[in-house]
Amino acid sequence: MKKMIITVVGKDTVGIIAKVCTYLSENEINILDISQTIVDGWFNMMMVADASSTRKSAGEVGDELKALGEGIGVQINCQSSEIFEQMHRI
Amino acid sequence: MISRNEVIETNKMIEHENLDVRTITMGISLLNCVHSDIDVLCDNIYKRITERAKDLVKTGEEIARDFGVPIVNKRISVTPIALVGGNACKSPADFVKIAETLDKAAEEVGVNFLGGYSALVSKGMTEADKNLILSIPEALANTKRICASVNVGSTKTGIDMDAVRLMGRVIKKTAEYTADEDSIGCAKLVVLCNAPDDNPFMAGAFHGVTEADEIINVGVSGPGVVKTAIEKVRGQNFEVLCETIKKTAFKITRVGQLVAQEASKRLGVPFGIIDLSLAPTPAVGDSVAEILEEIGLECVGAPGTTAALAMLNDQVKKGGVMASSYVGGLSGAFIPVSEDQGMIDAVNAGNLCIEKLEAMTCVCSVGLDMIAVAGDTPASTISGVIADEAAIGMVNQKTTAVRIIPVCGKKVGESVEFGGLLGSAPIMPVNKCSCEKFVSREGRIPAPIHSFKN
């Protein structure tokens, strides 16, 4: 499995999750977990997704999500989950 | 499952605390390029580098994108050129041709520095070693991306004082050859003692003869991350402080390890080592001096600086070795003056002098690094500074180095701007007493008694 971590941070607005999920679905990326909170109007979401089926690399998906985020005024990061596993697990 | 806090912590380190992988350095052996004809040799070198490293920069950028962590530099180190060119080069001018070839190859593959224009002369110089050393001023003036280094001593062999004397003059000449660019040539020239074969950091990187054909070495960084982490334990005891530094060093090194393994896999080149050094940059918040100040010093250079640095260095290593099985290179805190805003401020405020920096080099890597001095500093004084550092390295069985820049036409009180990663440096005062007679003695300083371990 090619696990990706997608984080979305920014001012809350209508349709953030919808837009991200539509993009993931179009690219055959399966969502495994979503956790999300809103603090003082700031939207904060973390998604774990399986990108085994997509033909795009984590970097490409990251660039496209970043562009999508800019369109709706939020910052989206997409990274291979390995960096977090390596850093926070012995 | 990774928690949201862990993800946020990592991304905060990257976005706000300058966490990055400082360099992926590909070591390439040039021994199989050796030829007695200089033109054939240059041709072989060019082909080998451009073929082996053609994907290095692209791969580095892809890895950075996939993991979302910046990889600042992609670099190459090669076999010490004095060995490679020994057969073909009959004069310093011949060696300059190799330097120009290396520069061209580095430009072609897109790396910002290529190290290994080097000679290893810890016990004595061959004719080729001497020719290479004499060619350094012209080689560095004619090229943009080449870094030169000379190893003048080791714990096992002692210090080659003939080479030390020669290097004082070569540094002066290098400064003169690049006088119109604030003597920047000297920023790409380092004199080492106990130089490691697998150092990924410039200017002292070279691909040692003990290494395989190709290798990937990675240098991590993260002074800003360490500083932010220890801000949270302000006022607490040493145990808590050390524990915090260790844990942070572990996390930083893990990122380097991941990038190194990935680069090794994608390039099909074996992984060598991770260098654990805390390498500062001129960026605000990316400073080793600021860590020392956070530990409790009013300003770096204050009494206690050496002890704080020793502790920092040791904890970084202890955390780092847990995170990677292959640790090597220099692995310690770097204290380059011009590349660390906190160090620059301390020098400008009169709180940090060369003598204190020298003491600090006893307990950390690497040495007197990126120190600008007045252009009229005598060559013998520079040799004396080199000899002092080499002695510290030799006796303490550690790597030490000198990267000193006698800036042509500048005096104490002025400063010099190198730009980019090299930063800016105030001209520092040097002790005016002469060591001319000491440096003029010929021969070697013998190896210390504790080197005889057989």
| CB nearest to B66's CB, from A44, A48, A59 | A59
Number of domains in chain A: 1
Cis peptide leading into residue B401 (ω within 30°) = no
How much is the pLDDT for B412? 93
Contact across the interface for A87 and B4, Cβ inside 8 Å: no
Closest residue in chain B to residue A63, using alpha carbons only: B65
Is the pLDDT at B271 greater than 90, yes or no? yes
Cα–Cα distance, B133 to B139 (Å, whole number): 10
Do B67 and A83 lie within an 8 Å CB cutoff? yes
The residue of chain B with its CA nearest to that of A87 is B251
Q: Which residue ranges form the domains of chain B, and what is each CATH number? A: 21-193 (3.20.70.20), 220-272+280-444 (3.20.70.20)
8 Å CB contact between B452 and B392: no
- Rounded to whole angstroms, the Cα distance separating B428 from B122 reads 28
How far is Cα B416 from Cα B424, in angstroms, rounded to an integer? 6
DSSP, collapsed to helix, strand or coil, labels residue B278 as: strand
Judge: A46–B4 Cβ closer than 8 Å, yes or no.
yes
pLDDT tens per residue, range B39-93: 999 999 999 999 999 999 999 999 999 999 999 999 999 999 999 999 999 999 9
Q: Does A78 touch chain B (CB under 8 A)?
A: yes
A86 to chain B, any CB pair closer than 8 A? The answer is yes
Average pLDDT over residues B238-254: 95
Q: How confident is the model at residue B198 (pLDDT cuts 50, 70, 90)?
A: very high
Nearest to A77 among B4, B11, B258 (CB): B11
CB atoms within 10 A of CB B446: 11
Query: Mind telling me how many Å the CA of B245 is from chain A's nearest CA?
Result: 14
* B257–A77 C-beta distance less than 8 A: no
Question: What was the pLDDT predicted at B8?
Answer: 87
Residue B299: strand, helix, or coil: coil
Taking CB atoms and an 8 Å limit, are A82 and B65 in contact across chains? no
Residue position matching structure tokens 């060598």: B272
pLDDT tens, position by position, B386-424: 999 999 999 999 999 999 999 999 999 999 998 887 889
> Are the beta carbons of A59 and B11 separated by less than 8 Å?
no
Q: How far apart (Å, rounded) are the C-alpha atoms in residues B436 and B429?
A: 18
Minimal Cα–Cα distance from A12 to chain B, Å? 18
Looking only at the bridges linking them, the beta strands covering B21-28 and A74-80 are: unpaired
Condensed to tens digits (0 to 9), the pLDDT of residues B101-159 reads 999 999 999 999 999 999 999 999 999 999 999 999 999 999 999 999 999 999 999 99
Give the pLDDT confidence score for residue B405 in this predicted structure: 96
Flag if B258 and A35 touch (Cβ within 8 Å).
no
Residue B255 in contact with residue B220, Cβ under 8 Å?
yes
Question: Does the interface predicted TM-score (ipTM) exceed 0.95?
Answer: no
**pLDDT given at position A58:** 77
Residue B186: CB atoms within 10 A of its CB come to 32
Q: What is the pTM of this model?
A: 0.91
pLDDT confidence of residue B204: 93
The chain-wide mean pLDDT, for chain B, equals 94
Can you give the CATH number for the domain in which A56 is found? 3.30.70.260
Compare CB distances from A84 to B7, B62, B322 and report the shortest one's residue: B7
Res B4: pLDDT: 84
**B414 DSSP assignment:** B
pLDDT digits (tens, 9 = 90+) for B309-353: 999 999 999 999 999 989 988 888 899 999 999 999 999 999 999
Bond from prior residue into B366 cis (ω within 30 degrees of 0) = yes
pLDDT of residue B419: 83
User: What is the token pair recorded at B439?
Assistant: 């440096």
Residue A52 sits in which domain range?
3-88
Question: Which pLDDT belongs to residue B325?
Answer: 87
Residue B3 pLDDT? 85
Whether residue A39 is predicted with pLDDT greater than 90 in this model: the reply is: no
Task: Tell me: pLDDT of B365 over 80.
Answer: no
Query: Would you say residue A6 has pLDDT above 80?
Result: yes
**pLDDT band (50, 70, 90) for residue B276:** confident
As a whole number of angstroms, the distance between CA A66 and CA A78 comes to 8
> How close, in Å, is residue A14 to chain B by CA atoms?
22
Among B4, B66, B69, beta carbon nearest to A35:
B4
